[in-house]
């Protein structure tokens, strides 16, 4: 069979469903991929495509063993992997914990940025027969470089702006000071605009950047730049770090106007819409993350089960199904889900406390696996213990063969009869993104990771409108998302702080576990409050009623075993001490010296 080198590369990379047409180059006559020199790459258009494909692989998606949610108030990772350091005052320039190689990935992204810069230097020399392909790749790499920089900036503030591939022979020219936050944002926006001006609205190969992806990235970074974290008026002008963590010289209102303009540019296209395929709001929200290329997805990472499927279900599913139960939702997060009528849930309310999982926001049931939730059929070695397929994260009484009442641990607890070395510390598991039809013990999924959803864009616009006191324009945008979720629309009287709270509620729960909460709580400067304190879970006990078949359940909020500390300095991640030793022009973020 004859295939292009490009096609071979896609198969070997095995992470994106990107297919090319066959042509008359026989792969058996080509050198192994790892034998190609730099010169070879820039002489062969298919190898250049492979080079760009590898850049896509550097983009961190959210289907990772350790999710970003576990350093926020959404979840806790049941092992460690540096998360304990990342959520306490142990975080330091010498030990970034999970931010070193699982989230922030400073070195990985700067290598990717260097490869982007090499591409821009060499792309004009490549003998493309199709000039449109060259231009499309240029647009994609502008997008990718913007994405890498936007990730760095959201962790560290202003970072060194490397715009050309410096040679290793001239070390001094590689020593670059941090750019100001404003300069970095402007550079990201410039790359987004260049990408949007080149890229097509839709690509025939799923997972490649489009015009709309570039517009969405611009909307995100401008919303970030307009937020309180980067508009602190009380940072003294003589502080060395001021420019790295503050936006100048525009006012915050002017920045929110820019953010609004960027979001509205997408909304006004009328290309995307909130996805509502059924009349059931829980099903609708579930299917946003399972139905490919639905009306809400702007840009996503695609997976192929045969090559490299997702492991989200395996990593996070209940241990009673032989999954690993890795990133488990906190009670801090679960308690925040509103009641179905829009009122607040409260453990102090006797009716709520007696039946805490009844009549909640319909998205709760698409997001959280809780004790008693209907789930899938158990594996063969467990089905006799639970023929119904119902989550068991509590203890409960039962009668043994002799008729005596004994206490049994649920199959999805850390004392499970099925698997007791994994399992939740909090009494919950993630439901979101999960494929109900998948046996995750043996098979991988093909869910797409949503880097950008229309929901985010609507909320970006709503946030800017609220901060600009244009409440009547913001409310309908929030209601689009809220009513899709099965929640009552906000009344026309909801304005000011109440409307801001409603917008933030939608960001917290509609965008949950999508790598937003850690950034949002920081940029709103509420992280010191919501990320500090115990990472709570729930203890559940079922007392057998006199009829011998039904239960009375009691619930107790407890510390899951992790106390968290978020100090003022944690609003920015420290720059690694080793990086500063290599480059003395780089100044540390405040609080870490």
Maximum alpha-carbon separation in the chain: 83
Determine contact, residues 296/6, Cβ cutoff 8 Å. no
Residue 22, pLDDT score: 31
Q: Which residues pair with 396 in a beta bridge?
A: 408, 542
Answer yes or no: is 553 within a domain.
no
470 within some domain: no
Q: What is the DSSP letter of 587?
A: P
Question: Beta-strand (E) ranges in 410-511?
Answer: 429-430, 449-453
Fill in the DSSP letter of residue 477: H
Least Cα distance to 439 among 502, 391, 375, 492 occurs for: 375
Per residue, the 3-state secondary structure of 9-38, as one string, reads HHHHHCCCCCCCCCCCCCHHHCCCHHHCCH
Tell me phi and psi for residue 142, to 5 degrees. -60, -45
Centre a 10 Å sphere on the Cβ of residue 374 and count the other Cβ atoms it contains.
11
User: Quick check: is 311 in a domain?
Assistant: no
β-bridge mates for residue 327, sequence order: 77
Q: Name residues whose C-beta falls within 8 Å of residue 559's C-beta, 6 or more positions apart in sequence.
A: 534, 535, 536, 537
What distance lies between CA 468 and its chain's CA centroid? 27
* Distance separating alpha carbons of residues 508 and 515, to the nearest angstrom: 10
- The answer to whether residue 558 sits within a structural domain is no
Least Cα distance to 458 among 511, 497, 501 occurs for 511
- Angle formed at CA 188 by CA 251 and CA 505, multiple of 5 degrees: 65
Radius of gyration of the chain (CA): 25
pLDDT of res. 20: 34
Asked, for residue 44, whether it belongs to a domain, the answer is yes
CATH number at residue 37: 1.25.40.390
Instruction: Confirm whether 166 is domain-assigned.
Output: yes
Task: Give, in degrees to the nearest 5, the angle at Cα 466 between 463 and 472.
Answer: 120
H-helix or E-strand containing 207?
A: none
| Phi and psi, residue 52, nearest 5° | -70, -40
d(CA 302, CA 304): 7
**Which residues, given as ranges, of the chain have pLDDT below 70?**
1-37, 168-171
Residue 174 domain-assigned (yes or no): yes
Cα gap 489→476, rounded to integer Å: 9
202: containing domain: 5-60+104-271
Structure-token pair, residue 114: 């260097």
This prediction has a pTM of 0.92
- Tally the domains of the chain: 1
* Distance between CA atoms of residues 78 and 428, nearest Å: 12
Contact 558, 330 (CB under 8 A): no
What span, in angstroms and rounded, lies between the C-alpha atoms of 412 and 309?
25
| pLDDT in the model for residue 11 | 34
Residue 400 within any structural domain of the chain: no
- Residue 124, beta-bridge partner list: none
Residue with tokens 């959520």: 87
């Amino acid at each position: 069979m004859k295939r292009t080198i490009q096609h071979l590369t896609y198969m070997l990379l095995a992470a994106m469903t990107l297919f090319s047409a066959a042509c008359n180059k026989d792969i058996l006559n080509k050198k192994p991929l790892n034998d190609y020199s730099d010169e070879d790459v820039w002489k062969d258009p298919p190898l250049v495509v492979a080079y760009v494909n590898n850049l896509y692989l550097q983009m961190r998606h959210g289907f990772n063993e350790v999710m970003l949610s576990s350093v926020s108030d959404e979840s806790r990772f049941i092992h460690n992997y540096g998360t304990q350091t990342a959520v306490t005052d142990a975080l330091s320039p010498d030990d970034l914990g999970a931010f070193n190689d699982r989230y922030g990935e400073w070195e990985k992204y700067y290598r990717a940025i260097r490869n982007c810069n090499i591409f821009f230097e060499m792309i004009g020399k490549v003998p493309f027969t199709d000039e449109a392909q060259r231009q499309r790749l240029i647009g994609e790499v502008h997008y990718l470089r913007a994405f890498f920089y936007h990730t760095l900036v959201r962790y560290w503030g202003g970072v060194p702006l490397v715009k050309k591939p410096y040679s290793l022979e001239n070390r001094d020219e590689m020593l670059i000071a941090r750019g100001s936050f404003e300069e970095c944002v402007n550079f990201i926006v410039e790359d987004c605009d260049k990408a949007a001006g080149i890229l097509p609205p839709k690509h025939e190969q799923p997972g490649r950047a489009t015009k709309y992806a570039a517009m969405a990235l611009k909307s995100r970074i401008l919303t970030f730049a307009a937020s309180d974290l980067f508009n602190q008026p009380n940072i003294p002008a003589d502080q060395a770090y001021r420019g790295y963590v503050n936006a100048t010289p525009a006012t915050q209102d002017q920045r929110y106007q820019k953010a609004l303009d960027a979001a509205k540019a997408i909304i006004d296209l009328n290309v995307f819409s909130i996805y509502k395929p059924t009349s059931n709001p829980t099903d609708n929200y579930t299917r946003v993350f399972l139905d490919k290329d639905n009306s809400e997805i702007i840009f996503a990472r695609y997976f192929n089960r045969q090559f490299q499927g997702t492991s989200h279900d395996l990593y996070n599913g209940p241990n009673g199904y032989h999954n690993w139960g890795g990133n488990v939702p906190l009670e801090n997060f679960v308690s925040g889900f509103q009641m179905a009528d829009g009122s607040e849930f409260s453990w102090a309310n006797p009716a709520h406390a007696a039946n805490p999982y009844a009549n909640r926001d319909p998205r709760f049931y698409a997001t959280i696996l809780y004790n008693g939730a209907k789930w899938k059929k158990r594996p063969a070695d467990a089905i006799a213990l639970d023929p119904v397929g119902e989550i068991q994260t509590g203890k409960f009484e039962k009668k043994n063969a002799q008729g005596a009442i004994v206490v049994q641990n649920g199959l999805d607890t850390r004392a499970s009869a099925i698997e007791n070395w994994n399992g939740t510390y909090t009494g919950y598991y993630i439901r979101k993104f999960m494929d109900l039809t998948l046996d995750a013990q043996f098979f991988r999924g093909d869910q797409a990771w949503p880097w950008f959803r229309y929901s985010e864009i609507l909320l970006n616009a709503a946030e800017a409108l609220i901060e600009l006191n244009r409440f009547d324009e913001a409310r309908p945008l929030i209601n689009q998302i809220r009513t899709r979720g099965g929640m009552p629309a906000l009344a026309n009287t909801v304005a000011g702080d109440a409307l801001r709270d409603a917008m933030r509620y939608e960001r917290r729960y509609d965008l949950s576990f999508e790598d937003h909460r850690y950034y949002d709580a920081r940029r709103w400067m509420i992280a010191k409050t919501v990320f500090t304190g115990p990472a709570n879970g729930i203890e559940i006990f079922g007392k057998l009623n006199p009829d011998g078949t039904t239960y009375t359940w009691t619930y107790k909020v407890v510390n899951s075993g992790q106390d968290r500390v978020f100090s003022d300095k944690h609003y920015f991640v420290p720059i690694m001490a080793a990086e500063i030793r290599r480059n003395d022009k780089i100044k540390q973020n405040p609080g870490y010296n």
